[in-house]
């Protein structure tokens, strides 16, 4: 398993990252991350970040389209 520092760098987690042991399986740990005041699994954190990237990409596209429409209207 990767060290805390490696996991933190690979997913952008903070120093407050927790490693939680799964009951009944001492060799299996689940990485969690504090994100916006909530404790999320690494999978949930990555999914949230991907959704945010998609959301902002859409906003940028809309802004470009709006700017293009304004330029065409001024022509």
Domain count within the chain: 1
Q: Measured at the alpha carbon of residue 44, what is the angle toward residues 17 and 38, in degrees to the nearest 5?
A: 55
Could you report the per-residue pLDDT of 22-40, keeping only the tens digit for each? 455 544 456 888 878 888 8
Mean pLDDT of the residues in the chain: 73
Q: Measured at the alpha carbon of residue 39, what is the angle toward residues 53 and 48, in degrees to the nearest 5?
A: 15
pTM for the structure as a whole: 0.47
Could you report the per-residue pLDDT of 58-73, keeping only the tens digit for each? 999 999 999 999 999 9
Question: By residue range, what is the domain housing residue 58?
Answer: 4-74
């Amino acid at each position: 398993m990767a060290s805390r520092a490696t996991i933190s760098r690979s997913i952008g987690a903070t120093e407050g990252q927790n490693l939680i042991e799964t009951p009944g399986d001492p060799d299996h740990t689940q990485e969690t991350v504090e994100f916006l005041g909530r404790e999320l699994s690494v999978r949930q954190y990555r999914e949230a970040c991907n959704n945010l990237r998609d959301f902002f990409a859409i906003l940028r596209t809309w802004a470009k389209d709006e700017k293009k429409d304004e330029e065409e209207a001024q022509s």
